Amino acid sequence: MPIKNPKVTVVGAGNVGATCAQRLAEKNICDVVLIDIIEGIPQGKSLDLMEARPVELHDRKITGTNDYKQTKDSDVVVITAGIARKPGMSRDDLLKTNAEIVGSVTDEIVKQSPDSIIIVVSNPLDVMTHLSWIKSKFPPHRVFGMAGVLDSARMRFFIAEALNVSTEDVQAMVLGGHGDQMVPLPRFSTVSGIPITELLPPQKINEINERTKNGGIEIVNHLKTGSAFYAPASSAATMVESIVQDRKRIFPVAAYVSGEYGLKDVFVGVPVKLGSKGIEEIIELKLAPEELEALHKSAEVVKKNIAKLSELSLV
């Protein structure tokens, strides 16, 4: 059943968080609490977004605050807090700083919204999702990361661009960790149900796969002083929508696996059904041996980075 009068908190009023709040309100998905540690930033951005209501024609409320008490009893919490990448940095370079931030944020979420669903956006995403799960002690179906939705969206755009077709007719599937070891799956990527392996030559597909893997750093290199935020915000918002409206959409997300795909005890990108209770089902695709091997290699990278949390005494 859809969640009645949903309340969603977005932690972090930077570019990703503020844009996510905007998407949620302007799509009439839910009321939003936008929280940040910097005084004035969430209040100012929230007021600016509220003043756009008469133009955008919605009546959703966006509240800016520095006080977690105002997030109390949130149905969903989206964690975007953390530092962004700069040119030359990998997502893993952010590990220590963002782990401290995500850990403290999760502690506050648990105090105020013990029945919430947590969506992690902060990088390195799979590791931060694992950390939030450990800190929260929530069941794994209520803690997961926004990764494959974004990576698949990028791949969908690159496919549509290559074929000069509407993105509306394009679906793509990207599994694995949210990093260089992600696993684009051309066999499961389609245009109106037609696999792209029948529409594009292998060389072009390989180019799309590589551009998908490097989609984030390509934007970082252009911006110089920031990272992507429009597409990540939209990806998080569409996940929230599927949850609060109980849409039961199928998305690849960073989910905890306990035997699926032959993997255990790790958060990695796999297709799931998202509904009002969070992850309602993990869907196992029949992967070719080379695809499964690539997924396992990606999961091993995530496990190595999770181990760094223990080395740094962060879990």
DSSP for the chain? -PPSS-EEEEE--SHHHHHHHHHHHHTT--EEEEE-SSTTHHHHHHHHHHHTHHHHT----EEEES-GGGGTT-SEEEE--SPPP-TT--GGGGHHHHHHHHHHHHHHHHHH-TT-EEEE-SSSHHHHHHHHHHHH---GGGEEE--HHHHHHHHHHHHHHHHT--GGGEE--EEB-SSTT-EE-GGG-EETTEEGGGTS-HHHHHHHHHHHHTHHHHHHHHHSS----HHHHHHHHHHHHHHHTT--EEEEEEEEEESGGG-EEEEEEEEEEEETTEEEEE------HHHHHHHHHHHHHHHHHHHHHHHTT--
Residue 91: pLDDT band (50, 70, 90) is low
Same-domain status, 78 and 191? no
The total of structural domains in the chain comes to 2
- What is the model's pLDDT at position 313? 67
Domain end residue (candidates: 121, 145, 169): 145
Rounded Cα–Cα distance for residues 79 and 4 (Å):
22
- Domain residues for the domain of 120 are 7-145
Residue 157 has pLDDT above 70, yes or no: yes
pLDDT > 70? residue 90: no
7-38: pLDDT as tens digits: 999 999 999 999 999 999 999 999 999 999 99
Residue 85 in this model has a pLDDT that exceeds 80 = no
The mean-pLDDT minimum among 37-41, 84-88, 186-190, 304-308 falls in 84-88
- Asked if the structure places residue 114 within a domain, the reply is yes
d(CA 27, CA 67): 26
- Each residue's pLDDT tens digit, 197-213: 999 999 999 999 999 99
Please check the confidence at residue 224 and state whether its pLDDT lies above 70: yes
Contact 261, 284 (CB under 8 A): yes
Residue 119 CA to residue 315 CA, distance in Å, equals 19
Average pLDDT, the chain: 95
Mean pLDDT along residues 85-114: 86
Question: In terms of domains, do 152 and 299 share one?
Answer: yes
Q: How confident is the model at residue 92 (pLDDT cuts 50, 70, 90)?
A: low
pLDDT at 196 over 80: yes
Quickly state the pLDDT bin for 226 (edges 50, 70, 90).
confident
Residues 77 and 105 in one domain: yes
Q: Are residues 40 and 111 in the same domain?
A: yes
pLDDT-wise least confident of 62-66, 179-183, 292-296: 179-183
163 and 97, same structural domain? no
**pLDDT of 300:** 96
Say yes or no: 55 and 137 in one domain.
Answer: yes
2 within a domain of the structure (yes/no): no
Q: 């800016």: which residue's tokens?
A: 64
Whether residue 222 lies inside any domain: the answer is yes
Same domain? For 244 and 206 the reply is yes
Which residues form the catalytic set?
178
pLDDT over 70 (residue 89): no
154 and 128 in one domain?
no
CATH assignment of the domain containing 219: 3.90.110.10
